[in-house]
Each structure stands twice: as C-alpha cells, then as structure tokens.
C-alpha cells in the first residue's frame, strides 16, 4: 500500500466515524467515551460561588488566590472566583463598595483604621517584605535621596509602603512607575537608582532571573515609629541565591497581609457561601502548606490576632470550636532554635549549642510565668 493510499483510507475512516456520530446527535469524542456533561444552569453555575479581589497578575496575592481556588473548589457546592484587581488600595475600596465582591486580600498599611472597621478579618496571610534592589554604587537608603526609584503604580502596596518609609526618613526621591522588566533594564543602564517591590519572598521579579551586574538589596531600618505598622524581616541566600551571599543576610521591613470579608447580612446567601468557604479553608489549611503552593502559606496563621481587626463571625466560631493543642516541646524547641539561628546570622553572631539550650530554658520559664501551656 502506498503512503497516499493509506492516508486516503485514514481520512475516509475518520470522516465516516465523525459523520456517523453527528447524524446520531453525538460528538465524536463522546461517542468513544459514552460520557456527557450535565447541562449548566444559572443555579448550578452560581451555587456556592464566592468572589475574591486580588492585586496585579504578578503579585503574591494573585498567586495565593489561585492556590485557594485550586484547594477549595469542589466542583459542586463551593467555587472561589479570584478577580485581578488594581492594587492594594483599590482592593480595600472594592471590598467595601464594589457589588458582588465577598473577599479580598488586603495589605495592612494600605487599609486605614476606618476601612478596617467596615470589613472583617478571616485570617492572617503572613507578611509581605519590602525589597529595594539598588545598583552597585548605592549602598544605603540615604544614598537614594533625590534619585529615581521605581515603586510601581500609585495605589500599589509597594507605593504605600515606600511612601511611609520615606516620610519617616524625611527623605525625597523621584518616583517612577515602570513595569518590572523595564525597571530592571533601566537599573542596569544606570537610568534609575533602585527598584522597590513589596511581596512575599521570593518575589518573581528578582528570583530566578538575570539581574544587572552589581545589583543588590539595601538594608531597611526599623525604628520605634515604623514598628507600629511593620515588623523586622530578613532576606537570605535561601530566598535569593546568587543575589545574597550565603554568609550574609539583609535586614528589611515587612507588612501584614490578610484575607478579609465584606460586611454582609448574616441571613444572605452570599454570607452563607462565605461561611462554608471559610469552614473548608480552615479545615483544609494544611493542604496549602505543601511545596506545590506559594511559600507564604507556611507563614500564614489562621489563629493570629491582629490589632484593629474584627474577626469574621464564622471564622471566630470555627476557631472557638476547634481549639489548638499545646505544641510539643520538641516542636517548640525546633522553632525557637531556628529563630535564634536566623537572628544571630543576621547580626553576625554565632551562638553555641549550650547557649541556645540556656535561652530555650529561659523561654520555657517565661511561658510558664505567662500561664502558657
């Protein structure tokens, strides 16, 4: 049989099968499997749907929202619908005022006290770190005075955090808002002095990509005033191999990030949908801590209380009905030693194992004095 004859027979056979299926009112694929998909209705499509606003497509918030949807959607009674937003500040407005929005990922420093009172806390999602990647000749924050610094568009979480930092330092810079790829290109050409980004480490803009020669992260100071809103954080070579020397680390600041709920009537269908979703989230939370999901899930804590935030009632009820067991001493010790190692490394100090044991014993006595189990 020639190649052309064989090809004609294949085409004729395939066409005949397709025609037979069409005449029978069944698609060719369905004819082979015998499976049909139930007809969608407005009721089935909307059943259990919860809409959540995130930030830009390349943000930590968008990635975490996708993780949530992958874990929580069950195909029948629950569906989480993430919606890309315009930034941390707009997310607050959208959660409060945009029709149909049930949940949002919010950045604490972009959520004023009056807005916190108008929404409720579902859970803490850990912290987002401030990264300031500077060109080779810039060694300190103060060196940026009067120079061009890229901080993303106005209203972004980065723009808010950087503005607060500069205000505290009483320092001015020339702000630019290029996309990350353009900003890094301009950094390499010396056209701007630094690129700032607030996000859960490792930030994709800096991790796993070629950066301008000599580019490095600047240390960011945390004073008493900034500590009212931010916490101390550390960037290491584990977060950014090839950018940070394994023997060193970079101190910076971090801002809390939360999952928040709109204030809806408790007797509404949307409220009930959110309550069911929160129950599933808290029950399956450990699934989000696997390597398949964003590393920030391993820092998130559903039981963490944040000053100025009121709990979403179904979340508060779940936590009350599911008290946490006291941590095993061995687990607690491992966490404490890891904390000591990170802090001593950041400070350039080496602690002996004996000293670590002594500090842990002191910590245990303090916990007992505080009535902790």
Domains 42-126+257-321 and 128-256 fall in the same CATH topology: yes
**CATH number, domain 42-126+257-321:** 3.40.190.10
Residue 174 pLDDT: 95
With CA atoms as reference, report the closest residue to 194 among 207, 183, 202: 183
Length reported for the chain: 373
Residue 2 pLDDT: 43
Q: What is the full per-residue pLDDT of the chain (373 aa) written as tens digits? A: 444 443 344 333 334 333 333 334 444 444 444 556 667 777 777 788 999 999 888 888 999 999 999 999 887 888 999 999 888 999 999 999 999 999 999 999 999 999 999 999 999 999 999 999 999 999 999 999 999 999 988 889 999 999 999 999 999 999 999 988 899 999 999 999 999 999 999 888 888 778 888 999 999 988 888 988 999 999 999 899 989 998 889 999 999 999 999 999 999 999 999 999 999 999 999 999 999 999 899 888 899 888 889 999 999 999 999 987 656 666 777 888 888 887 776 666 778 887 888 788 778 766 665 555 5
Tokens 């796993």 correspond to 208
Q: Quote the CA–CA distance of 349 and 364 in Å, as a whole number.
A: 23
**CATH number, domain 128-256:** 3.40.190.10
Q: Quote the CA–CA distance of 13 and 353 in Å, as a whole number.
A: 76
CA distances to 31, 69, 160, 221, 354 from 253, in Å: 60, 29, 13, 7, 31
Could you write out the DSSP letters of every residue in 153-221? STTSHHHHHHHHHHHHHT---EEE---HHHHHHHHHTTSSSEEEEEESSSPTTTTTS---TT-EEPP--
Residue 328 pLDDT: 64
Domain boundaries, the chain: 42-126+257-321, 128-256, 329-369
Whether the ω angle into residue 18 lies within 30 degrees of 0, i.e. cis, is no
Residue 193 pLDDT: 96
The full 3-state SS of 100-157, as one line of letters, equals: CCCEEEEEHHHCCHHHHCCEEEEEEEEEEEEEEEECCCCCCHHHHCCCEEECCCCCCH
Burial of 189 (0-12, 13-18, 19+ CB in 10 A): exposed
């Amino acid at each position: 049989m020639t190649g052309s004859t064989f090809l004609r027979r294949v085409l004729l056979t395939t066409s005949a099968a397709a025609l037979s299926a069409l005449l029978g009112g069944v698609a060719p694929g369905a004819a082979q499997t015998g499976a049909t998909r139930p007809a969608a209705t407005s009721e089935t499509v909307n059943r259990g749907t919860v809409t959540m606003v995130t930030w830009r497509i390349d943000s930590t918030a968008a990635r975490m929202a996708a993780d949530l949807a992958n874990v929580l959607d069950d195909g029948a009674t629950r569906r989480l619908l993430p919606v890309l937003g315009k930034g941390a500040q707009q997310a607050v407005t959208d959660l409060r005022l945009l029709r149909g929005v049930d949940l949002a990922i919010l950045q604490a420093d972009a959520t004023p006290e009056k807005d916190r009172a108008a929404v409720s806390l579902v859970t803490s999602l850990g912290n987002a770190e401030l990264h300031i990647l500077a060109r080779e000749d810039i060694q300190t924050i103060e060196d940026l005075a009067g120079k061009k610094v890229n901080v993303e568009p106005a209203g972004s979480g980065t723009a808010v955090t950087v503005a607060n930092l500069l205000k505290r330092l009483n320092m001015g810079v020339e702000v630019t808002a290029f996309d990350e790829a353009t900003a890094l290109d301009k950094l390499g050409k010396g056209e701007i002095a630094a690129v700032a980004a607030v996000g859960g480490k490792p930030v994709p803009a800096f991790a796993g990509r070629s950066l301008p020669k000599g580019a490095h992260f600047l240390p960011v100071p945390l004073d008493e005033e900034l500590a009212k809103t931010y916490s101390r954080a550390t960037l290491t070579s584990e977060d950014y191999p090839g950018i940070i020397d394994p023997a060193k680390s970079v101190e910076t600041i971090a801002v809390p990030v939360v999952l928040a709920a709109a204030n809806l009537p408790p007797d509404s269908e949307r409220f009930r949908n959110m309550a069911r979703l929160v129950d599933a989230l808290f029950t399956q939370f450990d699934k989000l801590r696997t390597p398949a999901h964003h590393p920030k899930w391993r820092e998130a804590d559903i039981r963490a209380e944040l000053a100025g935030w009121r709990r979403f009632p179904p979340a508060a009820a779940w936590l009350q009905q599911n008290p946490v067991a006291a941590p095993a001493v061995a687990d607690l010790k491992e966490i404490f030693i890891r904390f000591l190692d990170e802090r001593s490394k950041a400070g350039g100090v080496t602690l002996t194992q004996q000293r670590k044991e002594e500090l842990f014993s002191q910590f245990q006595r303090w916990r007992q004095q505080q009535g902790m189990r």
